[in-house]
C-alpha cells in the first residue's frame, strides 16, 4: 500500500539482495521449482524412451528431446536451463551409443544435440538480460514519478492530506498522475491532475505543471491566477515539444484553495469531480464552471474562474484520477466508485484509503492499466499548532520576491 513514500536508509552491511530492485530480482526468480521441473523432465524422458523402444529401428524419437531446453529457456532460470540441457545431452548420447550406429552418425547426432542445447541456454540468457533491462527502465520511470511528488501525509495549517499513489511502472504505460499540496500566505493550495498519454514524455509535462504550481501557489493571491500560470506552463512545454517532434499534451486538473476563514474554492480543468463524505453520506460535489483541460485554453472563449465548495469542517473530501474510476474487473466492468465509497463513509482518512486500495486490487484482480492517485483531505483539527516556522516564513518570503514587493 502506497500510503506514503518510505525510503529505507542504506547500511554498510546491506547485501546485494537488499540493494537489488524488486523488479530485477523477480526476473531471475524461479517460476517452476526444481523438484517439479526435473521430476517432470525425468517422467517425460521415460515416456519418450518407452516410445522409442516400442517404435524400434523404424523411428527414433529420442532426438526430439532436444526441443526441451528451448522450451525451458522461456520460463526457467539459466541454471535450470543448463541442467535440463546437460540431462538431454547425456540421454541422447547414451541412446545413440546403445543403438550401435556408426561413429559419424553418433557424433553428428550428439553434436546437433549439443548445439541445440547451447542455443537454448543462450536464448535463456538473452531473455533474462532483456527482461532485466526492461525492469530497470520500469523502476527508473516509477522512481522518477515518486521523486517529483511529495511523500504523504501532508499537514498544513488548514488541511490534513492523506493519499494513495501507485504508479503502474509498466514500460510505455507509465502515466502522468500528479498531486501537490502547498502552504502559502493565502492558505493551502491543492492540485491533483492527470497528463494525457503515457510514457516519460507524460512525466515531463507533469513535472512542468508541478513546478509551475509550486511557484504560483505562493505567488498568486487568487486561485484563478494559479491556474493561469499552470496553463502558461503547459503551453510553453507544448511549444517546446512541437520543436522537438513530440506530441502536444493536455492535463486534466482540479485545483483547490483552503483559506484561513474556512472557505474552500475550486477550479476544475476537465478533471473528475471531488467526492464529499460526510456523516455517512457520499456525494459528488457539482462544479458548475468546469473548464477545458490545461493546455487547451485557446479552444474556450471563457476564462477560468474559481467557485466555492461547501465542505463542512468534519467532512472528508476525496480527489482521485481516472486510474480509479476506469479500473476494470476481468469481465470489463468499470469500478463503481460511488457505490463502494458509501460502504466506508464513516471511516477516517487512513482507513478509507486502505479499504479503497484493497478493494481496487481485489476488483481488478491485481491488474492495473493506469496510475492511481487518490487524496483524502480533511480540515486540520482544532488545536493544531500554527505552522509559523521556516516553512511559513519561507513561503511568505517567496511570495514577496515573486510579487516584487
Which pLDDT tens digit goes with each residue over 39-77? Answer: 888 888 888 878 777 776 656 777 788 888 888 888 888
Q: Please report, to the nearest 10 degrees, the dihedral formed by the alpha carbons of residues 5, 9, 13, 17 taken in order.
A: 20
* 189 pLDDT above the threshold of 60: yes
What integer pLDDT is reported at residue 293 of this predicted model?
A: 95
CB 128 within 8 A of CB 75: no
Confidence category of residue 219, pLDDT binned at 50, 70, 90: very high
Q: Is 258 helix (H, G, I), strand (E, B) or coil?
A: strand
Confidence category of residue 352, pLDDT binned at 50, 70, 90: very high
What single-letter DSSP state applies at residue 272? P
Tell me the three cell numbers of residue 381.
483539527
Whole-number percent of the chain with pLDDT over 70: 80
* 113 pLDDT above the threshold of 80: yes
Tell me which of 109-123, 129-143, 221-235, 322-336 is least confident. Answer: 129-143
What integer pLDDT is reported at residue 149 of this predicted model?
A: 83
* 161 pLDDT above the threshold of 70: yes
- Average model confidence (pLDDT) for the chain? 82
Tell me which of 87-96, 199-208, 209-218, 391-400 is least confident. Answer: 391-400
Integer Cα distance of 277 and 340 in angstroms = 12
* 24 pLDDT above the threshold of 80: no
* 339 pLDDT above the threshold of 90: yes
Q: At what angle do helices 34-55 and 67-75 cross, to 10 degrees?
A: 160
* Nearest by Cα to 259 from 285, 222, 211, 305: 222
* 355 pLDDT above the threshold of 90: yes
Per-residue pLDDT reduced to its tens digit, 25-36 = 666 677 788 888
Tell me the three cell numbers of residue 90.
547425456
What integer pLDDT is reported at residue 249 of this predicted model?
A: 92
* 404 pLDDT above the threshold of 90: no
What integer pLDDT is reported at residue 238 of this predicted model?
A: 92
pTM as predicted: 0.67
Integer Cα distance of 196 and 24 in angstroms = 29
Amino acid at each position: 500500500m502506497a500510503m506514503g513514500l518510505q525510503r529505507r536508509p542504506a547500511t554498510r552491511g546491506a547485501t546485494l539482495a537488499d540493494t537489488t530492485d524488486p523488479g530485477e530480482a523477480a526476473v531471475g526468480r524461479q517460476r517452476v521449482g526444481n523438484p517439479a521441473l526435473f521430476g517432470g523432465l525425468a517422467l517425460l524422458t521415460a515416456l519418450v524412451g518407452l516410445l522409442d523402444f516400442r517404435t524400434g529401428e523404424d523411428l527414433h524419437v529420442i532426438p526430439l528431446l532436444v526441443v526441451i531446453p528451448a522450451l525451458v529457456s522461456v520460463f526457467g532460470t539459466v541454471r535450470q536451463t543448463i541442467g535440463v540441457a546437460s540431462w538431454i545431452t547425456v540421454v541422447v548420447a547414451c541412446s545413440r551409443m546403445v543403438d550401435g550406429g556408426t561413429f559419424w552418425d553418433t557424433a553428428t547426432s550428439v553434436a546437433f544435440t549439443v548445439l541445440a542445447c547451447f542455443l537454448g541456454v543462450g536464448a535463456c540468457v538473452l531473455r533474462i538480460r532483456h527482461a532485466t533491462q526492461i525492469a530497470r527502465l520500469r523502476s527508473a520511470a516509477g522512481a522518477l514519478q515518486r521523486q517529483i511528488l511529495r511523500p504523504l501525509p501532508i499537514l498544513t495549517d488548514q488541511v490534513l492530506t492523506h493519499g494513495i499513489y501507485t504508479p503502474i511502472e509498466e514500460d510505455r504505460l507509465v502515466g502522468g498522475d500528479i498531486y501537490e499540496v502547498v502552504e502559502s500566505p493565502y492558505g493551502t493550495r491543492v492540485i491533483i491532475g492527470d497528463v494525457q498519454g503515457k510514457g516519460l514524455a507524460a512525466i515531463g509535462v507533469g513535472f512542468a505543471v508541478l513546478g509551475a504550481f509550486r511557484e504560483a501557489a505562493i505567488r498568486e493571491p487568487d486561485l484563478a491566477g494559479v491556474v493561469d500560470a499552470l496553463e502558461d506552463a503547459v503551453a510553453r512545454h507544448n511549444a517546446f515539444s512541437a520543436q522537438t517532434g513530440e506530441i502536444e499534451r493536455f492535463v486534466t486538473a482540479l485545483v483547490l484553495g483552503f483559506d484561513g476563514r474556512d472557505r474552500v474554492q475550486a477550479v476544475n480543468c476537465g478533471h473528475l469531480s471531488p467526492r464529499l463524505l460526510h456523516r455517512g453520506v457520499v456525494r459528488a460535489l457539482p462544479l458548475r464552471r468546469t473548464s477545458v483541460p490545461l493546455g487547451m485554453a485557446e479552444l474556450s472563449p471563457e476564462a477560468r474562474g474559481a467557485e466555492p465548495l461547501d465542505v463542512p469542517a468534519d467532512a472528508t473530501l476525496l480527489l482521485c484520477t481516472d486510474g480509479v474510476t476506469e479500473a476494470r474487473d476481468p469481465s470489463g466492468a468499470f469500478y463503481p466508485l460511488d457505490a463502494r465509497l458509501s460502504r466506508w463513509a464513516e471511516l477516517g482518512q487512513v482507513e478509507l484509503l486502505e479499504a479503497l486500495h484493497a478493494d481496487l486490487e481485489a476488483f481488478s484482480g491485481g491488474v492495473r492499466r493506469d496510475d492511481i492517485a487518490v487524496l483524502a483531505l480533511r480540515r486540520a483539527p482544532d488545536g493544531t499548532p500554527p505552522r509559523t516556522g521556516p516553512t511559513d516564513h519561507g513561503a511568505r518570503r517567496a511570495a514577496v520576491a515573486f510579487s516584487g514587493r
